[in-house]
Amino acid sequence: MIRGLVIGKFMPIHNGHIRLIQFAALHCDELIVSMSFTQQDPIDAEKRFSWIKEIFKSEPKIKPCIIADDFDDEALALMPRTKIWANRMREVYPKIDVLISSEEYGEPFAFNLEAVHVLCDFKRMEIPVSATMIRTNPFKYWKFIPDVVKPHFVKRVCFYGPESTGKSTLAEKMALHYQTEFVPEVARELISSNDISVDDIIKIGFAQTERVNEKTKIANKLLFCDTDLVTTKIYSQHYLGVVPEVLTMLENEIVYDLYFLLDIDVEWVADDLRDFGDRRQEMFDLFKAELECRGINYNLISGNYQQREAKVKSIIDQFF
C-alpha cells in the first residue's frame, strides 16, 4: 500500500487546498492530511479540523489528522528544519511513501522523510488564493471558500433601537439589496401580547439565537438582523423586572460586526406589541446606554426612510 501525506495549517481550508488533497489522493492508496495548530492561531483548531472532516467525509482513503505545532524551528534553513518535521511525522504516523505539496519545503521535506515528492500547482496558477489572502479579505475571495467554511466569515449586521424606528423594513431591504438573508424579530412569531412570563422571554432568547445561527449558515457574506439579545434583555427587565441569566449566555454567543442604532425621528406606528409611543426618548436613551456600557461601537441612523437606506448602504460598503 502506498501512503501519502499532505500537511498544512488550513487556516482556513480553501478550494486550493481541496484541489491539492484531491490531487494527492490520486497518487496513493491512503492519504494522511495532517493539520497542525497552535493555541495562538486566529481560527480555532477544532473548527478548522471539523471543516476538513466534513469536506472529505465521503472519501475513505483520505484520513484527516490533527497535530500540535510544537516541533518547528523557523530560524533554520529548510533542510535541517524539515528534518525536524520528518522526525515528528515518523513518531506519530505510519511510514510515508509519498509527500504531495505545492510549497518550496516539499523537496527537502520529502528527502528527510525518505519519500517521493509530488509537486502540485507550485505557482498557484489553477486556484490563485492563499489562506492569508482569505483571512485578510474574505469577501474578495469568497468564491474560493468552501460552503462549510463560509459561515465563519459571514458578517452580521444588527439593526438596533426602540420600537417603530424601521428596523424590520431595513433588515429586509438590505438583505434584498445585498442578495442575502435577514433575521426578523422572532418574538413576533411567538407572542401576541406583552403579557409574558419568564419562560416566554427565555423561549424568545433561544429562538432568536437559533434563527441567527441558522441564517448564518446560508447567508451570502452579510446577515442582517432585526434585533439582538440586548434588546431581549431590555424588554425582559421592563415587563418582568428580571433578566434571566441564560439571556446573558445567549447574548455572548452571537457577535455582531456592525451595529446601527436607529433614531426616533420618524413617525410612530402603533401595533399590538408596541406600547412606548409616549416614552420614545426615554427608550432611545436606554437602548443607547446599553450599547455604550458594553463598549459596542455603533452608527446612529436618522432622517427619513430613504435617507436611512442610503446611509446604511454607504456605511456597509465602506465597512466591508
Question: What letter represents residue 159's amino acid?
Answer: F
Peptide bond into 12 cis (omega under 30): yes
Question: What letter represents residue 247's amino acid?
Answer: L
- Calculated CA dihedral for residues 118, 124, 126, 132, nearest 10 degrees: 120
- Mean pLDDT of the residues in the chain: 95
pTM for this entry? 0.91
CA 278 to chain centre: 40
Question: What letter represents residue 258's amino acid?
Answer: L
Structure-model confidence comparison of residues 87 and 123, the more confident one: 87
Cell, residue 94: 505510519
> Which pLDDT value is given to residue 275?
67
pLDDT over 70, % of the chain: 97
pLDDT at 149 over 80: yes
Q: 154-319 has which fold?
A: Rossmann fold (3.40.50)
Starting at the edge strand found earlier in the chain, the sheet holding 116-119 runs: 62-68, 30-37, 3-8, 98-101, 116-119
Average pLDDT estimate for 208-231: 97
- Residue 222: HSE in the Cβ half-sphere, 13 Å Cα cutoff: 22
Contact 45, 13 (CB under 8 A): no
pLDDT at 77 over 70: yes
Q: Give the pLDDT band of residue 277 (cuts 50, 70, 90).
A: low
Q: What whole-number distance in Å separates Cα of residue 178 and Cα of residue 176?
A: 6
> Which pLDDT value is given to residue 108?
98
Q: If we measure between CA atoms, which residue out of 170, 159, 172 comes closest to residue 309? A: 170
Q: Give the pLDDT band of residue 192 (cuts 50, 70, 90).
A: confident
pLDDT digits (tens, 9 = 90+) for 48-69: 999 999 999 999 999 999 999 9
Domain ranges of the chain: 3-144, 154-319
> Which pLDDT value is given to residue 267?
85
Structure-model confidence comparison of residues 271 and 293, the more confident one: 293
Q: 3-144 has which fold?
A: Rossmann fold (3.40.50)
Q: How many CB atoms lie within 10 A of CB 172?
A: 14
pLDDT at 269 over 90: no
Contact 251, 186 (CB under 8 A): no
Q: If we measure between CA atoms, which residue out of 43, 24, 34 comes closest to residue 102? A: 24
Average pLDDT estimate for 274-279: 69
pLDDT at 278 over 90: no
Average pLDDT estimate for 66-83: 96
